[in-house]
């Protein structure tokens, strides 16, 4: 188990539910960043079969030390529990002087669960804008599309490139829309990505001391602007996710759900 101070807070969870990802800048110490960069360059992070306990993996590698950092463990435990399964990982590489951005996509096929996997995006070296990095589209995670169905799109209001210093980690809902950005520098860019599956019901797994924080409804109502007229439908999706995560079937924001769930059946009694 992880100490409470390393778990996510309720306000962070609300941001995850609204935005589909969280970022933690310069979280990993530099000596580990350098060691993982060397492992990525030498191809020393072996793939294993999907569905194994994460805790069994990479006992000798620096990447294993990164995954076992208390804060990383806290992030993982808050979202998918303390004993998640390894789904897969990849070392994503963008060659130097590559002017072409990857197409927008979500990872894997349409996924209708409300239960969710997470993906860690670990940037082990500095990633300035001219080097990329991964572009995220905040608030895209509940959209039902399959892989590269969204490849016609190029730009969105509010798109967010991961421009960051070494040691930065983002954690995203499996449905987030994203794409690797061009690398206009003379150096190869690496990014380590790891997908994890929950093994427990995703309910109140984080530090819930601030569960009544009055900022949470506002966080869940964030308007990322690119979805235009569907902004309130997106809020409904987040309310459903917050209800799932908190096991509170009556939770609401701005009366959006209460209104459409009001279907009284009691009949007026004659005097």
Partner 1 sequence: MRQKLLVLYAHSPDLNSRTVAWSAYDGTGQEKHTTGDSEEPPYESVVAAMRDGWRVIQFPQQYPAYPGMEYNTSYLRYEYILEKLEDSNG
Q: Map the footprint of partner 1 across residues 35-94, applying CB under 8 A.
A: none
CA distance 54 to 196: 8
In the complex with partner 1, the residue whose CB is nearer, 64 or 101, is 101
In the complex with partner 1, the residue whose CB is nearer, 55 or 231, is 231
Asked if 16 and 174 count as a contact pair (C-beta separation under 8 A), the reply is no
CA distance 174 to 22: 13
109 binds partner 1 (CB under 8 A): no
Instruction: Supply the minimum distance, in Å, between the C-beta of residue 58 and partner 1.
Output: 32
Q: Map the footprint of partner 1 across residues 132-171, applying CB under 8 A.
A: 135, 142-145, 149-150, 152-157, 159, 161
Instruction: Supply the minimum distance, in Å, between the C-beta of residue 4 and partner 1.
Output: 35
CA distance 234 to 63: 36
108 binds partner 1 (CB under 8 A): no
CA distance 79 to 99: 35
Instruction: Supply the minimum distance, in Å, between the C-beta of residue 13 and partner 1.
Output: 21
107 binds partner 1 (CB under 8 A): no
Write the CB contacts of 140 (distance below 8 Å, at least 6 apart in sequence): 20, 106, 175, 176, 177
Q: Which residues pair with 135 in a beta bridge?
A: 161, 179
Asked if 227 and 234 count as a contact pair (C-beta separation under 8 A), the reply is yes
Please pick, from the candidates 73, 102, 168, 221, the single residue that binds partner 1 as defined by CB under 8 A: 102
Residues near partner 1, by CB under 8 A: 99-104, 135, 142-145, 149-150, 152-157, 159, 161, 179, 181-182, 225-230, 233-234, 236-237, 240
């Amino acid at each position: 188990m992880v100490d409470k101070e390393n778990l996510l807070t309720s306000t962070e969870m609300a941001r995850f539910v609204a935005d589909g990802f969280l970022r933690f800048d310069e979280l990993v110490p530099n000596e580990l960043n350098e060691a993982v960069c060397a492992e990525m360059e030498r191809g020393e992070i072996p793939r294993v079969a999907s569905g194994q306990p994460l805790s069994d993996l990479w006992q000798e590698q620096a990447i294993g030390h990164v995954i076992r950092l208390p804060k990383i463990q806290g992030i993982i435990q808050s979202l998918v529990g303390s004993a998640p399964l390894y789904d897969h990982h990849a070392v994503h590489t963008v060659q130097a002087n590559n002017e072409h951005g990857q197409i927008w996509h979500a990872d894997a096929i349409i996924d209708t669960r409300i239960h969710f996997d997470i993906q860690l995006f670990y940037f082990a070296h500095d990633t300035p804008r001219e080097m990329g990095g991964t572009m995220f589209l905040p608030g895209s995670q509940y959209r039902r599309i399959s892989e590269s169905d969204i490849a016609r799109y190029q730009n969105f209001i509010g798109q967010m490139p991961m421009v960051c210093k070494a040691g930065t980690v983002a954690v995203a809902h499996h449905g987030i829309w994203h794409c690797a950005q061009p690398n206009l520098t003379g150096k190869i860019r690496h990014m380590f990505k790891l997908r994890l599956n929950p093994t427990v019901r995703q309910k109140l797994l984080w530090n819930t001391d601030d569960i009544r924080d009055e900022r949470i409804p506002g966080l869940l109502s964030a308007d990322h602007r690119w979805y235009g007229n569907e902004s309130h439908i997106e809020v409904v999706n987040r309310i459903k996710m917050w209800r799932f995560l908190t096991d509170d079937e009556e939770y609401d924001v701005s009366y959006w759900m209460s209104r459409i769930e009001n279907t009284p059946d009691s009949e007026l009694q004659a005097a």
